[in-house]
Structure 1
Amino acid sequence: MDNKTQRYYLVREDILPEAVLKTIQAKELLARGEVHTIHEAVEKVELSRSAFYKYKDGIFPLTKLSTERIVTVSMDLEHRSGMLSNVLSMIASMEGNVLTIHQTIPLQGMANVVISVDTSRMGDQITAMIDTLRRSDGVRRASVIGEG
């Protein structure tokens, strides 16, 4: 099935097959760091590796799907010591988690910075974050260029 024909369903946990439930348990063990390999995870939940690989890319907790939100912000920053650090601190103070940073070499006293931020813990504060960035000393421009 290609991406264009995939369909998704919201299904109650109690009607899922045992192998699917154990796949979720194994993925959670790995995510929490309680085990370090897939072999350890499937052994602990008593699941075959083939079943794990069959279901691992198709089952996710609803909370994970509904809370992940990545925003990509483009900014022009004045070329001054500590500018990027100030921006990163401000994002962190608003519960944003910086995932990637790309900064150009400063030309004519300005550098373009593109930052991807996980905003899932920010709630409705994304607009406030952009407004705060725009008002920050040394930030000449800040705009959202992508959301996912």
Structure 2
Amino acid sequence: MTEKSTFYLVKEEILPEAIKKTIKVKEVLKRGEVKTINEAVEKMGLSRSAYYKYKDFVFPFYEASREKIISLSILLEHKAGVLSRVLNTIANDGGSILTINQGIPLQGVANTTLSIETKDLLVDMEALLDKLRMIDGVKRLEVLGQV
């Protein structure tokens, strides 16, 4: 019987340096800045053994969120057009809204939960989240989970 993996979403600042460097090695390799793993680990100041130890277990959030359903909790200011701008931003970047649940505005803000299918996203998930956070009227945005 194969054991099922559990995934965690953690902030970069709590990760050990070897894991952060492993992610950076994978990024420079992906971008083609270096040609070999040896060059990449040397550039990042990481041992080859540490790279091989972690490389199959760490990846940026946007890679883990491809072809998934992401649930977001968003606190929106109660102003005309805010939800519409959020939905248009997601649609313009290729996201498909599966569910929307918005509460009645209280004290000038409304809690909104969205489920987004990410398989056709034109940008990585981190870029989409940054765009959503920059919309005037978005007070808070949190990723609740993914399936």
Q: TM-score, normalized by length of structure 1?
A: 0.53
Task: List, as ranges, runs of 4+ consecutive aligned residues in structure 1 with deviation greater than 6 Å.
Answer: none
Q: Which runs of 5+ in 2 are unaligned?
A: 3-65
Q: Distance in 1 between matches of 2:134 and 2:84?
A: 16
Flag structure 1 segments of 5+ consecutive residues without an equivalent.
Answer: 6-66
The alpha carbon displacement at 1:140 in A equals 0.4
User: Could you tell me which residue of structure 1 aligns to residue 81 of structure 2?
Assistant: 82
Counterpart-to-counterpart distance in 2, 1:91 and 1:110: 20
- Secondary structure at the counterpart of residue 115 of structure 1: strand
Bigger radius of gyration among the two: 1
Q: Superposition pairs for residues 100-139 of structure 1, below 5 Å? A: 100-122=99-121, 125-139=124-138
Question: C-alpha deviations, 1:14-72, integer Å up to 9, x for none?
Answer: xxxxxxxxxxxxxxxxxxxxxxxxxxxxxxxxxxxxxxxxxxxxxxxxxxxxx741000
Instruction: Tell me which amino acid in the other structure corresponds to 2:112.
Output: V
Kindly indicate whether the alpha-carbon contact (under 8 Å) linking 2:76 and 2:139 is maintained by their aligned counterparts in 1. Answer: yes
Change (3 A) 1:98 1:141: same
Report if the CA contact (8 A) 2:93-2:122 is conserved. Answer: no
Q: Give the RMSD, CA atoms, in angstroms.
A: 2.0
Give 1:70's aligned residue: 69
Aligned to 2:144: 145
Shift of 1:124: 5.6
Determine the C-alpha separation between the residues in 1 that align with 2:130 and 2:77: 17
Count of aligned pairs = 85
Taking the aligned partners of 1:129 and 1:72, their CA distance within structure 2 comes to 13
- Tell me, in whole angstroms, the C-alpha distance in 1 between the residues paired with 2:107 and 2:136: 18
Identity %: 45
